[in-house]
Every structure is written in C-alpha cells, then in structure tokens.
Amino acid sequence: MSAWRIGQILPSRSVSVLKGGNVWFFRGGAQDPAGYLVSGVRSMLIPSQLSPSLPQSIALSGVSERRRGLAQEKMTENGVFSRDKVLTIDTMNPTVKNVEYAVRGPIVQRAMQIEKELREGVKKPFTEVIKANIGDAHAMGQQPITFFRQVLALCSYPELLNENMFPEDAKNRAQRILQACGGGSVGAYSASQGIDCVRQDVARYIERRDGGVPCDPDNVYLTTGASDGIVTMLKLLVCGEGASRTGVMISIPQYPLYSAALAELGAVQVNYYLNEEKCWSMDLSELESSLAEARKHCNPKALCIINPGNPTGQVQSRQCIEDVIRFAAKERLFLMADEVYQDNVYAEGCQFHSFKKVLFELGPEYSDNVELASFHSTSKCYMGECGFRGGYMEVINMDAEVQAQLSKLVSVRLCPPIPGQALMDLVVNSPQPGEPSHITFMKALGQAPDMFYCMKLLEETGICLVPGSGFGQKDGTYHFRMTILPPTEKLKILLAKVKEFHQKFTQQYS
C-alpha cells in the first residue's frame, strides 16, 4: 500500500502507517459519498514501526469519540499534539452555571472596565466611578476605628508591645488574643470552631445584648464573615431529589448570596414577598401561601429572614418576629436569622430585636424546640471592616448528632482567618468606661463627639451650635445647645437642616 499524504482523503476502513519514520495521521470526520472520511477534528499519531495493516478496531471515529465525551487530540501549528480541555462549559458542574450574584455581576464588571478606561485617558461625561453597589464602607472613605487597628497591629507585629505609642488596654487585648493563639502568633491555625476566648467573648456579648438570655460558647462558631456561616448551614440543610428536594424560603427582595448559594447547592428557592406598601414588612399570609405552594413540588425545610433588611432596610417589629417564630414552630421550619445590620437602626420608633431574645421570651414551648441559627459580621455597622472577613453564628436547639456533623464540616476549612477572629473579639469586647481607650473610642478626629458633631454641622450647613461639653454633661452622654432666637421662617430652615444633617451623621458614624 502506498503512503498517504497529510491532508489526503483516507478510505473510511483503512489506516495507513508511517514509512521511513515519517509521521502520518488518521483523520476522522464526516463521510463523503464515496465512503471516505474527510478531514475532521480527530488526529491520531501512528508510530512509524507499526505494520502497514492494522485491525479495523483501532480506526476510531472522531464523531463517536466526541459522543462518548473522550478527549480529542489536535495538532498545533508547531507540530505539537494538544488535547481538548477536561473541564469545559459542557462538562463543568451545571449548578455553578445557575449562580448569579448581582452585587458583583455584569454591571460591576463593566464599572471596573470603565475605571480602567478613565485611568488610560478615555474621555467620559464623568471623571470617576462612584460605587454604591455593595456595603463596603472603607472603600467609600469611612475611616477605620483606631482602637481596632491598634490591637490588630499589635497582634500582627508583637514587637510593638514594647513601644509606648499604644494604650495599655489595646496592649492587654492584643496579649490576651496572642496567648490564645498557637505559638503566640496570629499566623497559626486556631481550632476549627474558632479561638476559645473569642467565642467566650461573643457569648457574653450576646447575653448582654439579649438582656441576660444564656449563651453557651460551644454553640458559637466563628466564621469567615456572615456569608460563610450562612452557606455552611445551607449545606447541612440541603438534600433530596425531585419532589423531596430541600426548599428554602427567602425574602424577595433578597441579598443575592441566598439565591446564589441555593443554586450552587441544587436546592429549591422558595420566594416570599415583602410588603413594600408597609415599609417592606413581612406578611404572615404571604408566608403561608408561599409555603403551601412550595410543598407541591419540594420539601421546604428552612426560613431565612434578614433583619434589619438587606436591601430593603426595614426593621421588623417585635410582633412580626413573634409571628414568624410561631409560624416556624407550627410548620416545622429551621429558622436562619441574618442580623448583620443590627447596629444600623435609625428610624424613629424602630428597635432591633434579636430572634433569639424573642424566642426565649416566648417561653419553653418555643425556646426548647425551635431550631435557630443567627449570624453577625464585622463587615457592616460602624465597623465596616469587610476585608478582615470576621463573623460568627450561634446555633440554638440543634440536634446533637447534626451539630457534630457541623463541627466536622467546619473543620474541613481548618479555621477562619485569625485577624478576622481577633477583630470580631474587639467588636464584641470594645473599650469600656474607665479603660484608657474608651474616650478615644467614643471620639472622632481627636475631638469629643459633641464637638465633632457641631464642627461638622457648621462646616456642612453653616449652622452654629454649641457642644454640650461646654456646659457640663453626664459621662457617656453628648448634647448640643441651640437658641430659638432666629425668626420663625429662618428657624424652620435651621431645624430642617439639622434634621437632615443628623440623619446623615448617625448613618455615617453610629
């Protein structure tokens, strides 16, 4: 048999080999009317020493191999063989393709491109991109809390403990945290559940917040931000297929973490709609109808609540929280309470009530039975320390065997970031009255809070008031003094400006 040349049509039932060490190819592809295989995607190198006649079984069809999902060999221009990717858009985990995360989606990606274009001198009808897509306070110019950064600096570089530039309480906090770390270093792993003393401080913080409701540190898990805890709990909850697949009730509007995590885990997203006409409040009848409809096609097991709301900003009333707890108890739903904005409550008449506190105030019928996981973070509120990825979750009434599995699951990730754990400790254990840093912690820009307030009011509105510290006031309280001598019309303008400024000020600094 004469040698075939590269690119020449080969008979479909023939395989030619090399002669004299030449390289030959078999190309599989579409068959022409004469029964020959024309050039396709399949290339096969035949060693030069093989006999001219080979069994028909090795003449594999490129089409059939593609159908079987086998890797395809190709020759590059420089004569080197390459193979198709093992991981392609068709072979990857299909649930990942269903994940969407709006706060960092296409709009944000385009914003980053526009920023790059602006740096390169491309002319736009604006000079900068102002990002208001995500709760990243420091990226928007909020300054970090001095005490937090002092302690974190000391933890990161303990040699600074010998310097006189840091207050003693900052040093004491840093030394306590370092003593709890392996080898006295934040570079060491911690226990998977988190540093013991930090979990103890979190437990004490929860008890103070909830008016003395007990908190067991063994039920506290330090996390890589609140998101980590939320996804971990969803992993425990999700199971089943078809009509038995786990359904998770989430509010609409919702924070995209929930829909993205449920898509990735292959769970069923069960929407319940907040009532926009009533300040985005929760409607019990909406929960009931949503649950009834979901039970026709899945197994709803959990109810997620974001309070204060994200992105809606509502603060649920105590009565609403009681109704939700009773609903969860009646329908046997696991409660997940996302409470990362608990310090961001400004509206008149609004007050944050933790789900745990209300749960226990409803009595043993609920506090001994309703399963609850609640979440908090260092990323929001007055801290805004998103980059340190600190947070915690507390679990209530979790089955002992399931909690053992939870501990196993978190051990896979080894531990949350140690600096984030340290920061969480500082948030729940901030400087107290009588400690050297307390006054500084309560200030801004080196001024007493009321002096700072009045100075900013003057600079931004032109209104001149007098700080209460000039008249004397009880420690830990802050006032300003104003007269009502301006004419009525001017006084109305003054009061409107003070109101607007005060709302903005508290949102920025509370």
Q: What is the pLDDT of residues 347-356, one digit of tens each?
A: 777 888 999 9
**How many other C-beta atoms lie within 10 A of the C-beta of residue 79?**
7
Q: Say if CB 235 and CB 409 are below 8 A apart.
A: yes
Segment 130-151 shows an average pLDDT of 70
Least confident segment among 80-89, 149-158, 296-305, 332-341 = 80-89
CA distance 258 to 33: 56
CA distance 44 to 60: 9
Is the model's pLDDT at 218 over the cut of 70?
A: yes
Q: What is the pLDDT of residue 43?
A: 38
**How many other C-beta atoms lie within 10 A of the C-beta of residue 480?**
18
Q: What is the pLDDT of residue 429?
A: 79
Is the model's pLDDT at 46 over the cut of 90?
A: no
Q: Say if CB 137 and CB 387 are below 8 A apart.
A: no
pLDDT tens per residue, range 87-116: 677 766 666 666 565 555 566 677 778 888
Residue 395's DSSP bridge partners are: 373
pLDDT tens per residue, range 489-509: 777 877 888 888 888 777 665
pLDDT tens per residue, range 388-401: 788 899 999 988 98
Most confident of 70-79, 102-111, 151-160: 151-160
For residue 300, is the peptide bond before it cis, meaning its omega torsion is within 30 degrees of 0?
Answer: no
Write out the two tokens for 361. 């105030």
Q: What is the pLDDT of residue 485?
A: 62
Segment 304-318 shows an average pLDDT of 86
Give percent of the chain with pLDDT exceeding 70.
69
Q: Which residue has the tokens 């709890």?
A: 180
pTM of model > 0.85: no
Q: What is the pLDDT of residue 443?
A: 59
Is the model's pLDDT at 185 over the cut of 80?
A: yes
Q: Which helix (H) or strand (E) holds 119?
A: helix 106-119
pLDDT band at 53 (very low <50, low <70, confident <90, very high): very low
Least confident segment among 98-102, 122-126, 364-368, 459-463 = 98-102
The maximal CA–CA distance of the chain, rounded, in angstroms, is 113
Q: What is the pLDDT of residue 389?
A: 87
Give the residue among 87, 83, 95, 90 at the shortest CA–CA distance from 45: 83
Is the model's pLDDT at 5 over the cut of 50?
A: no
Give the residue among 256, 258, 320, 337 at the shortest CA–CA distance from 248: 258
Spatial CB neighbours of 495, under 8 Å, sequence gap ≥ 6: none
Pairing of strands 480-481, 299-306: unpaired
Q: What is the pLDDT of residue 304?
A: 93
Average pLDDT over the chain, rounded to an integer = 76
Q: Say if CB 356 and CB 372 are below 8 A apart.
A: yes
